[in-house]
Amino acid sequence: MTKLLITGGAGFIGSTLVRWLLSPDAALERTQLDLRSLVVLDALTYAGNRANLDPVCNHPLLRFVHGDITDAVLVERLFREEEINAVIHLAAESHVDRSIDDPAPFIKTNVEGTCRLLETARRLWPRGAPHRFLHVSTDEVFGTLEPGQPSFSETTPYAPNSPYAASKAAADHLARAYHRTYGLNILTSNCSNNYGPCQFPEKLIPLMILNALEGKPLPVYGDGGQIRDWLYVDDHARALVAVLLCGTPGEIYTLGGGPQLTNLEIVRMICAGLEKRRPCARGAYADLITSVPDRPGHDRRYAIDSSRAHRELGWSPRETLASGLDRTLDWYLANRPWCDAITQATYRRQRLGLG
């Protein structure tokens, strides 16, 4: 019987995972897990949104807890009260620009918070128990790729280039150490750039969509030639459950969507998609594209080799970039109240000096 804790479950990826796992589409996976309860722990910082869970808020398996993964008392109480025997750890500070401005919150959440969860599991889970802990990480821990270099894989050496990436790399190493030293059934996944509904609007794709609709500049770093691998968020959710169910403890699984496009190409695709759905009132959306100074230490290229996940887990993305982007554009056009609420909340937090 699985009693699952999902940290960061009100965020973009976490809430997608929760909604999917409690949907009719995941009936088989719930049966395979023998899912008896699902606890979401989220601090509801700027990127967490309780409304993301509204479609499943009354589901009998779901319990939401507002709290921080660095709160030792709370974490231990949840593990004990809910008899947690599986964790999908998604809670993280994840925006590179914010980490450049102030690395401290990234160390606190990504390193100290991960250590708190691992330590609680170590103390409360009997040694040798089949309990599972899936630590969700990023491809940014591997650094940058030059043109023609092979894609990142499970054996790629770590070379983080931003405070965010360094904090996630530290968390990955802690997860590995708790498996090797204490025998916890740790699994780690490293994913490429996610996109889709409910993504916080400071990320590239939703930022470009909302700025374009409001007639604002579409800021592109430098020459826009940074190459990224894009993974639709629903496909990532399915992959995480596959790793939890079928992954080998102590192993890493790299998860990517496949297509590699430059940021400028992605922005132009967004502009073209919006023109078909809601033509620009003045000129063309592409006219709003504006080059801005590049961020310090900006990685030039990411790409993911997902062959191990395909081979061992039977997972592969269902959405192409074109179909996933279509679904994303349609969602943002149909859910402007959600976007407006996020924007207003962010403005209020900035006025209060909360980030």
Q: Which of 42, 164, 195, 332 is catalytic?
A: 164
Q: Which of 68, 140, 235, 305 is catalytic?
A: 140
> Which residues, including other chains, have CB under 8 Å from residue 319's CB and lie 6 or more apart?
232, 234, 235, 257, 327
Cβ count near 123 (within 10 Å): 10
Active site residue 139: yes
Active site residue 81: no
* Buried residues in 62-85 as b, exposed as e (16+ CB within 10 A): bebbebbbbeeebbeebbeebebb
Q: Which of 42, 82, 139, 299 is catalytic?
A: 139
Answer whether 167's CB lies under 8 Å from 105's CB.
no
The two structure tokens encoding residue 242:
């596959």
Return the active site residues.
Answer: 139-140, 164
